[in-house]
Structure 1
Amino acid sequence: MNKKAFYHKSKNCWNQYREKHKWTRIENFPDGIDPPQKVRIYRQNDYFRLQFWDPAAKKNLTERVDGDLVTAIFRAREIEERLKHFRSSGLGRGKLKHQSLLELYQSHLQRRADAGEIDPKTVRRYASALEHYRCFVNQPLISTTCPSATNINRELVLQFQSHLKNLQISSNGHPNTEKHTMVSSDYVLDVVRGMYIWAADPDRGNLMPSGFRNPFQGKFRQTESVAPDLFGEPDITVPMAAQFLEKCDSYQLQLFALLIFYGLRASEPCFLFRDNLTSDGWLKVVCLPQISYRTKGRRDKRLPLLEPVRTLFEKQFRHMDSGLLLHRRSVWGGTEKSLLLSYSLDEITKEYTRRCRKSTNLSAEQGIQIRDQLLQEAGGLKYDHIENEFRRLADQLSWPAKATLKDFRHLFSTAMMNAGMPEYYRKYLMGHAVSKSAISTYTHLDQLREHYLEAAQRQFLPLIEVFTKRSNELVSAA
């Protein structure tokens, strides 16, 4: 077909369909009816089109209205009211793609982390959960049948649940480990539900049209996971912990004393300074917002030190008045030198502030990277160091694989309960919220040392004896 023939054919098609697709603006309204101020009304074929600028969407939007002119005017009035009071038409982003929704939500989470509302680790966990949703909606069948996030329905939720049920994943995200089915999909579904709640909220995401119903909302699903039977002993018992302490060397003894006798989370010893030890026998485990560290749950606590544990720390650090309480084995053994080894918490804070000021528009993630590098230079240890020390001893004792570092917390909580420690005190030592009721504000834990020492004598006496004996042996050998 030559250019002239193509031109005539195109012109004929335009003449044929011109009237059908032409927009004719309505400018003359019946007497007594004021025209809308922010919404333009057009007639197209046998229906009407409303066009307006939506400040929330930051673009012109259109909406089709079937019916007569009165119906179109009535709908235009509704949109104008929403634009006037909420600066949004309530139509959302129109054909909002799943990918766009994911990017906007993750950007919102990152801004919250930068503002200090949530931990950057939470952003990473959410991103990992949302990656499953991203892979699901990118499947050819799903992207064809449901290309927009605004038209998801219950059927899509069921398909997503089925997808998660059959999904093969690696343990802890490591690519080289053996794949297995997901133990529970509840967390992933909760994260996706939260994303759509945020998107539909007019005061937050404001991305969904008015009247949008979140199909992920509600407790309609039933997980296949079964709650564990709590009857029986923890995977690490008191005799096992005694064997563990007998095998510890000088470095391991100081490290695992805090995990066994106080049930600390494995990451908490990494942020303890000499400043946390008090002269009257307490060890303070606190948040350090000045260097972007907060304990899980964002709760401070203090631990009454057993006399053998207190004596061990005093002997170990007699030659050093400041710095981190615990170091990497290589630094502790003298095979690695650290430039900031003797830096106190105040000095670390000043250096952290100085380095952060060098960066413009510092994000929360960048702040954590600076902090971790600073603690690395101060000789600090990480979770992996503690895990490796634990695994080395556990292998020597031929412990089963199900016995993990976290089981020291199970042992501690179980022992404190069996010793009759009041629940408020036990929750406090575990770093949990003691209560959500108002009475917790008026309840002060003024007998923490007495309750802990009594419970330790009842349940941990064999461990205390082994610890004291092993500590004396190591001191004599040195």
Structure 2
Amino acid sequence: MSKRLASFRVGRVKAYLRGRIWYLCYYEHGVRRRPRVGPDKDTARLLAAQTNAQLESGAPPVLSFEAVSIPKLRDLWLSHHEHVLRSSLQSIRRYRSATQHLDDFVTRIQPVRDASRFGVREAEGFVRYLRTLRVSPNGHPRSARRPLYDKGIRFILEAGRAMFNYAARRRHLSPYAPNPFSELQLDRLPMEHGRVVSIFSEAQERAFLENCDEWQFPLFLTLIMTGMRPGEASHLLFPEDVNFAGRLLTIRNRPNLGWKVKTGNERTIPMVDELVAVLQRSLGPRKAGPLFRRRRFETAESIGCHENTAVAMENESKKRVLELECTGQQLLREEIQSISDRIWRKNGILKNEQIRREYLRVCRKACIAESTSPKSLRHLFATRLQSANTDPLIRMELMGHAFRNDGSAPGLGMTARYTHTRPELRFGQLQLALEDSPAMDVARNRIKRELLQGNRRNSYQIV
């Protein structure tokens, strides 16, 4: 073929044939670009004209992109979540851990120079690689290793899909190239292997609560009767979040203390009279501090110590941050979070792992071997609401599930935006759902037993 037929020019853009593939050649901000078009000459001519028009107008050319390696793309994406979206530190840690597997794959197993060269074939190889991995549950180095569950593999692939969507928006991928993780059809991946959620039977629920000691009983009764997440229970502060007169628990974000609700949605949960009585007795003469504290903070010698209100804790956090900044240090979010964590621990906060250990102790005493996570109590609460035919909107509000971006509830559409539930209606439906539950029966029996023992100093009070 003659040189004349193998190339042509449209303004500032030259097109040329190499083998059977057409390429464009042009300069953008002094950098030469040579994007690949394909075998069709008419398509090459059309894209050359479009690219020339964009160069003349100063718009970014349709075929231009900035190639980056996958490790670099990962750093950019995590930085975007850190500094632009301000995602929670816990979410960023999960994204970092998930994308580390992809970083390892393209670095050690199947080297890929640029993210734009990572296609569907490489993504399928990455899935096969994930299925060969053996990991430690929850990252504990001393625990026995096991294969990744299907749910974990799906989360890793979803994180990869989100990262490549970010790359496409920032023009780090070849134009018109599909997201390799979207091509895997993640929604169709089967969930054949995973952690089984065990829901207590009525007999197991009764046995579980009857085997709780004085310290464990208020905590686990609260989880059963409110459905809150263990981390939400451990961050409840008295008296700010506990209203005995109004029979309400408030779960709220505390950005000045480095904690927020998983979905960001604050909510109030009604308390039945029996739960109010149990919590009043567990608090005793205490005036402030976390509602549930570590065991050593509940001794007689600790009464009156470390009883700080939310305002006092926030002021202490601000003071410590200011002292470090006055020395010229530029504190990162992780460092500020570390300061907040130390203040929480100083005031006796329970860690999720401590709650889980206490939960396992009670399960062993009650001979319930199949349940290993306190989060199953949240599943129990949701199941009980469903069994009692609780209104779906109230059920969603009590569980604290996120609304969609348009403000509507999942599955409820626009109706949810115009529907509001009164506190007395929420309390009534919750009371109805819990009325005949083993938890209610055990709580009432425990209250009667304490009253019969004549324990006047810490006697229960039914409001």
Query: TM-score per shorter chain, which class?
Result: 0.7 to 0.9
Alpha-carbon distance change, 300 to 77 in structure 1, aligned in 2, over 3 angstroms: closer
TM-score by length of 1: 0.78
Alpha-carbon distance change, 138 to 311 in structure 1, aligned in 2, over 3 angstroms: same
> Any conservation in 1 of the 2:297–2:348 contact (CA below 8 Å)?
yes
Alpha-carbon distance change, 453 to 134 in structure 1, aligned in 2, over 3 angstroms: same
Counterpart of 1:267 in 2: which secondary structure?
A: helix
Alignment of 1:172-183 (within 5 A): 172-183=138-149
Q: 2:400 aligns with which of 431, 434, 437?
A: 431
Which residue does the alignment assign to 2:308? 343
- For residue 336 of structure 1, report the CA deviation from its aligned partner: 6.3
- For residue 89 of structure 1, report the CA deviation from its aligned partner: 6.9
CA distance in 2, matches of 1:53, 1:180: 51
> Any conservation in 2 of the 1:245–1:467 contact (CA below 8 Å)?
no
Deviations 1:16-71 (A, max 9, x none): xxxxxxxxxxxxxx9xx9x75xx8x899x9999533327xxxxx344279999xx8
- For residue 467 of structure 1, report the CA deviation from its aligned partner: 4.0
Which residue does the alignment assign to 2:64? 91
Which residue does the alignment assign to 1:15? none
Counterpart of 1:103 in 2: which secondary structure?
A: helix
Which residue does the alignment assign to 1:108? 80
CA distance in 2, matches of 1:416, 1:86: 56
> Any conservation in 2 of the 1:51–1:61 contact (CA below 8 Å)?
yes
Which residue does the alignment assign to 1:7? none
Letter in 1 for 2:179: N
Counterpart of 1:50 in 2: which secondary structure?
A: strand
CA distance in 2, matches of 1:267, 1:97: 37
Determine if the alignment matches structure 1 residue 123 to structure 2 residue 126: no
- For residue 234 of structure 1, report the CA deviation from its aligned partner: 4.8
Counterpart of 1:256 in 2: which secondary structure?
A: helix
> Any conservation in 1 of the 2:123–2:181 contact (CA below 8 Å)?
yes
Alpha-carbon distance change, 108 to 470 in structure 1, aligned in 2, over 3 angstroms: farther
Q: 2:216 aligns with which of 242, 247, 252?
A: 252
Which residue does the alignment assign to 1:396? 365
- For residue 237 of structure 1, report the CA deviation from its aligned partner: 2.2
Deviations 1:139-165 (A, max 9, x none): 35x21xx32211222211221121122
CA distance in 1, matches of 2:393, 2:46: 63
Letter in 2 for 1:105: W
Counterpart of 2:51 in 1: which secondary structure?
A: helix
Alpha-carbon distance change, 235 to 127 in structure 1, aligned in 2, over 3 angstroms: same
CA distance in 1, matches of 2:383, 2:83: 40
- For residue 465 of structure 1, report the CA deviation from its aligned partner: 2.9
> Any conservation in 1 of the 2:226–2:271 contact (CA below 8 Å)?
no
Q: Percent identity?
A: 20
Q: 1:441 aligns with which of 417, 430, 434?
A: 417
CA distance in 2, matches of 1:149, 1:65: 16
Which residue does the alignment assign to 1:9? none
Alpha-carbon distance change, 93 to 399 in structure 1, aligned in 2, over 3 angstroms: same
**May I ask how many residue pairs the two structures share in their alignment?**
423
- For residue 258 of structure 1, report the CA deviation from its aligned partner: 0.8
Q: 1:242 aligns with which of 196, 201, 206?
A: 206
Which residue does the alignment assign to 1:192? 160
CA distance in 2, matches of 1:224, 1:393: 34
Deviations 1:374-401 (A, max 9, x none): 1111222211221121122222222214
- For residue 300 of structure 1, report the CA deviation from its aligned partner: 1.9
Deviations 1:193-239 (A, max 9, x none): 111110011xxx33223333222224635424249999xx9532232
Which residue does the alignment assign to 1:220? 185
Counterpart of 1:191 in 2: which secondary structure?
A: helix
CA distance in 1, matches of 2:46, 2:266: 60
CA distance in 2, matches of 1:261, 1:74: 63
> Any conservation in 1 of the 2:134–2:148 contact (CA below 8 Å)?
yes
Which residue does the alignment assign to 2:29? 53
Deviations 1:312-370 (A, max 9, x none): 3223334232222121111112566996x121111112222233334454433233222
Q: Greater CA deviation, 82-91 or 445-454?
A: 82-91
Alpha-carbon distance change, 264 to 469 in structure 1, aligned in 2, over 3 angstroms: farther
Determine if the alignment matches structure 1 residue 286 to structure 2 residue 252: yes
- For residue 266 of structure 1, report the CA deviation from its aligned partner: 1.0
Alpha-carbon distance change, 151 to 336 in structure 1, aligned in 2, over 3 angstroms: same
Counterpart of 1:138 in 2: which secondary structure?
A: helix
Q: 1:451 aligns with which of 429, 434, 453?
A: 429
Determine if the alignment matches structure 1 residue 63 to structure 2 residue 34: yes
Counterpart of 2:160 in 1: which secondary structure?
A: helix
> Any conservation in 1 of the 2:51–2:61 contact (CA below 8 Å)?
no
> Tell me, which stretches of 5 or more residues in structure 2 are unaligned?
1-8, 404-408, 459-463
Counterpart of 2:146 in 1: which secondary structure?
A: strand
CA distance in 2, matches of 1:82, 1:439: 48
CA distance in 2, matches of 1:77, 1:389: 66
> Any conservation in 1 of the 2:149–2:194 contact (CA below 8 Å)?
no
Letter in 2 for 1:220: Q
Alpha-carbon distance change, 423 to 459 in structure 1, aligned in 2, over 3 angstroms: farther
Letter in 2 for 1:276: D
- For residue 418 of structure 1, report the CA deviation from its aligned partner: 1.6
Deviations 1:58-112 (A, max 9, x none): xx344279999xx899849715615845456742223x22222222222222223
Letter in 1 for 2:27: Q
| Rg larger in structure | 1
TM-score by length of 2: 0.80
Q: 2:336 aligns with which of 367, 375, 389?
A: 367
> Any conservation in 2 of the 1:250–1:471 contact (CA below 8 Å)?
no
Letter in 2 for 1:476: N
CA distance in 1, matches of 2:393, 2:454: 37
Which residue does the alignment assign to 1:10? none
> Any conservation in 1 of the 2:360–2:372 contact (CA below 8 Å)?
no
Alpha-carbon distance change, 234 to 162 in structure 1, aligned in 2, over 3 angstroms: closer
Alpha-carbon distance change, 227 to 133 in structure 1, aligned in 2, over 3 angstroms: closer
> Any conservation in 1 of the 2:307–2:347 contact (CA below 8 Å)?
yes
> Any conservation in 2 of the 1:242–1:466 contact (CA below 8 Å)?
no
CA RMSD of the aligned region, Å? Answer: 3.6
CA distance in 2, matches of 1:83, 1:192: 36
Letter in 1 for 2:317: Y
Q: 1:277 aligns with which of 216, 219, 242?
A: 242
> Any conservation in 2 of the 1:168–1:182 contact (CA below 8 Å)?
yes
> Tell me, which stretches of 5 or more residues in structure 1 are unaligned?
1-29, 55-59
